[in-house]
Amino acid sequence: MTIDLLSADWSRFAEKLRQNGYALLRAANPKLLVTDKGAADPNIIAATLLCRSLTHFKAVRILLSEGLVVEARTIVRNCLENAFWLAAIATPAECDEALRRMGDAELFTRQQIGQFAMQLRGEHGAEENEALGEAMRKFKGLKGSSGPTPKELAKLGPFASTYLFYAEYSRDAHPTLHSLARYLSRLDEGGEVVRCLNAVPSGREGDEFTIQHACQAVLSAMFAANDIWTAGEAIRLTQLAEEYSSLGGLGTVAEVA
């Protein structure tokens, strides 16, 4: 069975959606001034998350057009996670907590990498690296913590049910038995079943929804970003959601994620 991973209609809509994402950034531009706060500014964090989603989105279309479904689904997973973050930041009661945990996670990761690097150098008898030592001294007394899991993050915003999609796409993002089985197939040769390896696995049932879920994730991210910036693009986004629903045969306006 041949799976159509990227129909012409979905390809056109995906590109239209991506271009509208950049239009949203332009509409919010007065609020996207990078200051000394840098990534500590919620508006800037939201902008970088949306930029990340839009470049991911372009990659998904390219990968699907090349038949690289596993790689495309791995990136759709990232698009969903970006939407979780944006939704959490767009929720007033959760914004500060989400940003605090993002900062703590960054500190925690740097500490873990630095400690491992120092341990590794010590085990191999390497001389002390002054820059690394100085960086670790700056971290002394600071306490980081691991960031929220994707499931926890999804619950901070209104998209908890969308975590099910994230979990499904994670099965392809990681080398699970599920994803590895994609590289195996069976052929019937003269009544004899032959097991084969597929270096580039073809799509299978359900994979045709990959582009739809990518569109859903990016559209959700755009709705959340519009709320954060009060950019006044709700009508345009609702029209895109209606087009998404019509194209997907849903019959109703699509809810964000």
pLDDT of residue 255: 46
**CB 98, CB 54: distance < 8 Å:** no
pLDDT of residue 244: 97
Sorted by sequence, the CB contacts under 8 Å of residue 121 that are 6+ apart come out as 127, 128, 129, 132
What are the structural domain ranges in the chain? Answer: 8-91+157-247, 95-148
pLDDT of residue 64: 97
Q: What whole-number distance in Å separates Cα of residue 18 and Cα of residue 53?
A: 9
pLDDT of residue 1: 57
pLDDT in tens, the chain (257 residues): 578 999 999 999 999 999 999 999 999 998 898 888 777 789 999 999 999 999 999 999 999 999 999 999 999 999 999 999 999 999 999 998 898 888 888 888 888 888 888 788 777 777 778 787 777 777 776 677 778 889 998 988 888 889 999 999 999 999 999 999 999 988 887 888 888 999 999 999 999 999 999 999 999 999 999 999 999 999 999 999 999 999 998 754 444 44
Q: What whole-number distance in Å separates Cα of residue 16 and Cα of residue 5?
A: 18
Q: What is the largest CA-CA distance in the chain?
A: 70
pLDDT of residue 251: 54
Q: Is 188 helix (H, G, I), strand (E, B) or coil?
A: strand
Closest to 78 in 3D by CA, of 100, 55, 107, 106? 55
Q: What whole-number distance in Å separates Cα of residue 101 and Cα of residue 118?
A: 25
Total-model pTM: 0.87
Phi, psi for 194 (deg, rounded to 5): -115, 125
Helix spans in 6-41 (H): 8-27
Residue 179 is which amino acid?
S
pLDDT of residue 158: 83
